Amino acid sequence: MGTQTVFFREALNQAMVEEMERDPNVFLIGEEVGRYNGAYKVSLGMLDRFGPKRVVDSPISENGFTGLAVGAAMTGLRPIVEYMSFNFSLVAIDQIVSNAAKTLYMSGGQFSIPMVMRGPGGPAAQVAAQHSNVMDSIFAYFPGLKVVLPSTAYDAKGLLKSAIRDNNPVVFIENEMLYGLKQEIPEEEYTLPLGVGEVQVTGRDVTIVAYSRMAHMVRQMVPEFEKEGISMELVDPRTIKPLDIELIARSVAKTHRVVIVEEGHRFCGVGAGIADEIYARCFDDLDAPIARVTHTENPLPYAKGIEAASLPSPAAVMRAAKAALYRL
């Protein structure tokens, strides 16, 4: 099987192109997705390839084009909605939560909503408070939505293809700091199932649960853990709703210690939900309290130094791992 080296953004582009070629009901809509090739160039070349009826430049009206997509999905199309930033999805929260997430239930199964809502999310680099919200836990809270956060180009392509084929609304959040990440992926077509995580690093001393950019950061820390004599196991859930809790539980049963790392805030964060699931299933396996590394409880500032101090860091992850091992 051949491989190709691509950027994270190119992997997403390939997924959309392949699915639009496979299924004429798939279309892309959002601000600047057409003539501008996407704010982050994820839709590069797609307007020329598929035309303006399938790559639709929308007005600056997230509530409007998200509602249009919900209606299109109800009638048999499979829209991909791109938000220029997931911060702007808050403008469309009523369409996402009251309509996309609940229509299947409220229609007694008569109307499924096969749509993907995707785009960059999470803290970027000095874009200040209103453009740095971590939305993961907001969407994961509501039944009816699937929530996907890939950490690699390989996962981004395989998971996005599966999300487009899924008959439920899928929130697909791409950390914009990963768009320039390069990785080898298969040249052949592939998909990855939603709701199935991955053990990215195998170890025996402590389980670290991290996703999106945090999984990428922790994976780069392997040499640091080795220097400290710590055998770390990294579990990337990939999809936080549904969550592959069985994979996490198997790792906890082996290591007996857990650190959860996320870019979101501590209170009501995704990590709080994961910790609750671990305590419910694995309490007798734990030899230490679950440690969490999170964003501090403040809007993210513009100032570079304070921004860095607000977000999870490798040093904070190492301190948490040592605390879980009673080595501080």
DSSP string of 146-170, one letter each residue: EEE---SHHHHHHHHHHHHH-SS-E
Catalytic hit among 62, 82, 176, 262: 62
Question: What is the distance between the alpha carbons of residues 4 and 153, in angstroms, rounded to a whole number?
Answer: 11
Kind of pairing between the strands at 26-30 and 198-201: unpaired
CA angle 117, 181, 250 (to 5 degrees): 75
Residue type (1 letter), 236: D
Active site residue 62: yes
CB-CB contact of 209 with 244 (8 Å): no
Catalytic hit among 82, 131, 233, 262: 131
Residue type (1 letter), 60: I
CB-CB contact of 109 with 241 (8 Å): no
Active site residue 226: no
- Which two tokens mark 245? 């809790």
Give phi and psi for 3, each to the nearest 5.
-125, 165
Residue type (1 letter), 304: K
Tell me how far CA of residue 209 lies from CA of 158, 189, 200, 258, 278, in angstroms: 21, 28, 10, 7, 11
Catalytic site residues? 62, 131
